[in-house]
Amino acid sequence: MSEGDDPLGPPIRAKTMSEGDDPLGPPIRARTMAESGDALNRAAQEHWGRLVSLLLARFRRLDLVEDAVADAFEAASRRWPAEGAPDNPGAWLHTVARRRVLDRLRAEVMARRKEPLLVVEAQRHVSTSLDGRSTSLDGRSASLEDAGWRDDPATDLLRLVLLCCHPALDPAAASALALRLVLGVPTHDIAQLFLVSDPTMSARLTRAKKKIVAAGIPFVVPDPDDLPDRLDTVAQIAYLAFTAGYAPGSGTEVVRTELAGEAIRLVELVLDLRPDEPVLVALLALMVLQHSRRDARVGAAGEIVLLPDQDRQRWHSGEITRGLALLRHPALSGPMTVPAASFCVQARIAACHASAPDPAATDWRRILGEYDLLLQLSPTPSVRLARTVALAEVSGAEAALTELEGIDIPGHRLPAVRAELLRRAGRPAKAVAAFDIAIGLCSNEAEAAHLRQQRAATVQTMTGGQTMTVGRE
């Protein structure tokens, strides 16, 4: 991009505004309403985060910028269906949002009875005047260098992602804030994704934004030596959102694929900015491979379908191919941080499952070896529990039951695994008791229904030699 180019696209012809002119610009060549709706949806996906980051870089007012971008999209939702979408939606939205910020700044200055010159000074950095005179819609003006328009807009977007995912923020709040500011997901939808009320999510987002201001979190890209650690934090937050989609702790849904999909979109966006970051490549490989099985995870009646029973024809083969290709990325062949290595090993485990044509062909010995490596990288109770499931497939239920000793994890998953192992070991009475504990601790209705079904089957009969049926693979 050469100096003077608009970061959101080619220039729009400037004109001099006279009294009575529409501040949103001249009428737009009409297109069909369907085309306009599609254009608005594409613009929201492609430009929301870029608009927020560009305006925040100029104004440093997160509260004004977020409202201005929302106002711009609201204006587009009214005008584009009637008049047609513009040829350059991003530049149109940027112009409207920028003017909204300036309107708010002018109102604040007038409310404080300050000199209008203060507003003029603020305007100088965005090459727009408040007195209604000539306004350049492509960002060209004498203040071009001061405004920083020559910067790569990707840098501003990376700043925004790192701002939302700063270590000073609570990870749950940070993931919600990233969905809102970077991806433009509406607050109502974020609330539904995280199973909280709209007021609760609104308050959570407000607290996170206030924390950014109070803590003085800078809108900058860290030094090169610090950037890998910050990107590790971004990856962990994205993974938190993805996990919330595939292992809901409460509610009635088996999976929430929309949340998982938004988490993937966040990683893809950051990976576009930093294409050779091992932690992002490894995480995307893991996410894509897991996400490829989404349609087969839920039965016709909304029930859980575990990995051995899934219809593999419903797996998305293109996504599996993509995930396997990501695992061969050169970024994963050299040194990497511990989080990156952890995601890489988990992705290789997912690849073993995704590559098996049927359950019997699953290479459980290789999976067990990968879990041994993962345990060295992340010696957590959750990893130990997952390794126990693989051990049962290689060495039998009794060996796995011995391995369970000493593992302590809150919630229903540990007693659920113990119940299945006891069932397979031929101890149905103890298995039923373990199922009862797991059911009592389970807050997700779909999982609880599955556990009740397993309990009933254990009471009726005992079958051996089957693949493990506990877990959310």
- What are the tens digits of pLDDT across the range 186-215? 888 788 767 678 889 989 998 988 888 888
- Find out whether 159 and 52 touch, Cβ atoms under 8 Å: no
pLDDT at residue 303, rounded to an integer: 85
Confidence of residue 127 (pLDDT cuts 50, 70, 90): very low
**Identity of the highest mean pLDDT range in 18-22, 129-133, 135-139, 202-206:** 202-206
Task: Find tokens 């693989």 and name the residue.
Answer: 390
Higher pLDDT, 246 or 165: 165
Higher pLDDT, 92 or 49: 92
Confidence of residue 4 (pLDDT cuts 50, 70, 90): very low
- Find out whether 327 and 341 touch, Cβ atoms under 8 Å: no
pLDDT at residue 144, rounded to an integer: 26
Mean predicted confidence (pLDDT) in 319-336? 95
pLDDT at residue 242, rounded to an integer: 85
Mean predicted confidence (pLDDT) in 115-126? 50
pLDDT at residue 150, rounded to an integer: 33
* Closest to 99 measured CA to CA, from 77, 130, 131, 62: 130
Confidence of residue 30 (pLDDT cuts 50, 70, 90): very low
Query: Is 414 a residue whose pLDDT tops 90?
Result: yes
Query: Is 28 a residue whose pLDDT tops 60?
Result: no
| Structure-block tokens of residue 372 | 């041994």
Mean predicted confidence (pLDDT) in 236-251? 73
pLDDT at residue 57, rounded to an integer: 77
Mean predicted confidence (pLDDT) in 371-384? 94
- pLDDT single digits (tens) 282-299: 999 999 999 999 999 888
Query: Is 220 a residue whose pLDDT tops 70?
Result: yes
Mean predicted confidence (pLDDT) in 370-376? 96
pLDDT at residue 340, rounded to an integer: 94
Q: Which amino acid is at 299?
A: G
Mean predicted confidence (pLDDT) in 447-465? 80
- Find out whether 55 and 65 touch, Cβ atoms under 8 Å: yes
Mean predicted confidence (pLDDT) in 396-422? 92
Mean predicted confidence (pLDDT) in 79-100? 86
pLDDT at residue 327, rounded to an integer: 96
Report how far residue 105's alpha carbon sits from residue 94's, in angstroms, rounded to the nearest whole number: 17
Report how far residue 241's alpha carbon sits from residue 172's, in angstroms, rounded to the nearest whole number: 8
pLDDT at residue 70, rounded to an integer: 84
Confidence of residue 17 (pLDDT cuts 50, 70, 90): very low
Mean predicted confidence (pLDDT) in 1-5? 47
pLDDT at residue 301, rounded to an integer: 83
Higher pLDDT, 450 or 114: 450
* Closest to 163 measured CA to CA, from 149, 189, 181, 186: 181
Query: Is 356 a residue whose pLDDT tops 90?
Result: yes
Break the chain into its structural domains and give their ranges: 33-135, 153-274
Query: Is 237 a residue whose pLDDT tops 70?
Result: yes
DSSP letters, 227-242, are HHHHHHHHHHHHHHHH
| Residue percentage of the chain with pLDDT more than 70 | 78
| Structure-block tokens of residue 184 | 């433009």
How many residues does the structure list for the chain?
Answer: 473
Count of C-beta atoms within a 10 Å radius of residue 335: 7
Mean predicted confidence (pLDDT) in 333-339? 91
Cα distances (angstroms) measured from residue 305 to each of 53, 172, 205, 381, 451: 41, 28, 35, 25, 12
